[in-house]
Each structure stands twice: as C-alpha cells, then as structure tokens.
Amino acid sequence: MQMKRTLVALATVTAVLGGIAITSVPAMAEEKLIKIDGSSTVFPITEAVAEEFQKARKGAVKVTVGISGTGGGFKKFCRSETDISDASRPILKKEMDACKQAGIEYYELPVAYDALTVMVNPKNDWIKSMTVAELKTIWAPEAQGKITRWSQVNPKWPDAPLKLYGAGADSGTFDYFTEAVVGKSKSSRGDFTASEDDNVLVQGIANDKNALGYFGFAYYAENPDKLKAVAVDGGKGPVMPSAQTVENGTYQPLSRPIFIYVSKKAAAKPEVKEFIEYYLKNAAPLVKEVKYIPLPAKAYTMALGHFQKGKTGTVFGGEAEVGIKIEDLLKREAKL
C-alpha cells in the first residue's frame, strides 16, 4: 500500500587524473525503514498512521506494516526482526520472557479500544442476540465435532448446519475471545475456519447463511451490508457493540484495549522516535476514521509522556485479562 521510493544521492564527483575524466557512480543513500508486524485488528490503525506519516515525511522514511497475528508479531519482535509490534492484547509472560532473554526492552502504548464483535450472515433471521453461555456452548473444546447445528445450541433456532469462522491461534483476538467466552485463553474447538487475516473471515461469513464468527469491530463497520452484528448478553441483558457501549463500559466481556509495542533500541533511531510521536499525537482522528474507538485525549498524552521519559515495561501481569474498562486502563497508566 505504501509507495516505494528510493533516495538517490544527487552529487556526482568528477576527478581528473592524468587528463582522463573519471565520473563516480551515483551513491545510494541509506534507506530509512520502519518495520511493523502483528495484529490484524490493530493493522487498520497503524496502516492509516503509516500512510499519513510517509506523506508528511515526503518519502524520506518507508514504513512497512504486516499481518501475522499478535502472537506471530511478538515472535518477530522478540527476535529483533521488527521495530514495532501491533497487539490486540497485552504481552504474555512467555513473550515477556522471550524478549528479556533477547535483551529487548519495550514501550507498551495503548492506542485504541475495540469491541470484539460476534457476526452472522445478514440472511440469518433467527439471531439478534446471544448469551455468553450460548457462545461457550459453541466454542468450547468439548463442542468439537458435536455441536454442529444451530438447534443444538438453542432449540428455538433452526436445524441447520453451524459454520464457524474465527481468529487463528497466533491472533490476540483468539486469545482474548477464548478467555472471555470459554474462560481460558486458547481453549477452543479446532474445527472451524481460522485466519489471522480478518478480511478472510469477513468473506467467509458474507458468503454463508449459516455462518457465525468473531473479529474486531472495524471489519464489521467497514462491511455492514455483508455482515450482521449480534448483541451479546454478558449477564445484564443484550448489548450491541458500539463506541458508546465501549466508552460507558456496558459492552462486556468483549470490550478490550489494543496496543503497539515499541523496541527501546529501535526507538533510539530518530525516524522511529518521530513516527511514535506522530502516532500518539494523531491517533484519535485516525482511530475514529478506521472505525475503532479512540482513547480519551489524556490517555494519548500520558502514553506520549511515558515514551518520552523512557518508561518501559507493561502495566499488565503477563496473563490475558478480560473486562478492562477505559477508566481502569487510565488508572494503571497513571501509576506507571
């Protein structure tokens, strides 16, 4: 998506030796490159920031943004293969250990909130809301090969095949959804169409009347004619995912903060430092533009302050956490 530009040194040196003119080959200036990978959920935000940053720098810096899932992104990050890692959940203990062993310190910067969204096909006329218990009946490991029809979940629903689409095992969305719904991270049936790329899931659900799936809110918001969001009942009645229900804390347990992690070593490079500062100063409108929920202005100011003061590490305990509201996140950030 980003335009490839090559900087070429303009100066040509001509020397005259023994009456023979020798012209040097134009030297190639070292390309400034920022490498980012990780979550498909965070990808639309980081991609938007990268595009605007590259325009502002007039091609002086190239920013690449890949999608390998949160877990896949952290593997690369902890091997020093990337400068920044997009993450739809906080860093886990095993990833913290891998980075520590490799001598990689990092900044943990929350950039937005997401309403992890349960989705069905628009032709599905029997579902408006689902309880967390119904979702667990569908997605728990013991459902594999057994819960294969809608009527098995709720007898009021049709005796039709249940086709499932969900995040791949390297996805932070997979980790968060299984923790929130099943009660244990990564605990899930395996007989479903899985992908770290949410666009694959969008197409799967859009083309299958009997489909059910889940992924980040932005991918639903970009495809409202192809998908139908389901209200989730976490115990206090059905609630639809939206900016308002995330901000007021009622969309539970599928509301979550999303992050970027920045290598301290990489941040010592002027172009990476400038990119992160640009990211945090411009995040709010771009987050809104790509259909996620911006953090309060003070959250971005706080994150920028942590970054500029060199406050590394995580405010989480290395385990998946569910139900963290915006005000809870701010309280933790304030103590960093």
Which domains are present in the chain?
14-113+257-335 (3.40.190.10), 117-240 (3.40.190.10)
Question: Which pLDDT does position 335 carry in this prediction?
Answer: 81
What would the mean pLDDT of 147-159 be, rounded to a whole number? 98
Tell me what the pLDDT averaged over the chain comes to.
90
User: For the residues of 193-259, what is the DSSP string, one character each?
Assistant: EEES-HHHHHHHHHT-TTEEEEE-HHHHHT-TTT-EE-EEESSSSEE---HHHHHTT-S-SSEEEEE
Residue 119 has φ and ψ, to the nearest 5°, of -130, 145
The token duo for 55 is: 């325009």
Question: Which pLDDT does position 59 carry in this prediction?
Answer: 82
Confidence of residue 336 (pLDDT cuts 50, 70, 90): confident
Question: Which pLDDT does position 18 carry in this prediction?
Answer: 42
Give the integer Cα–Cα distance in Å for 281 and 267.
16
pLDDT digits (tens, 9 = 90+) for 218-268: 999 999 999 999 999 999 999 999 999 999 999 999 999 999 999 999 999
Model confidence, pTM: 0.86
Q: In DSSP terms, which residues pair with 213 in a beta bridge? A: 119, 165
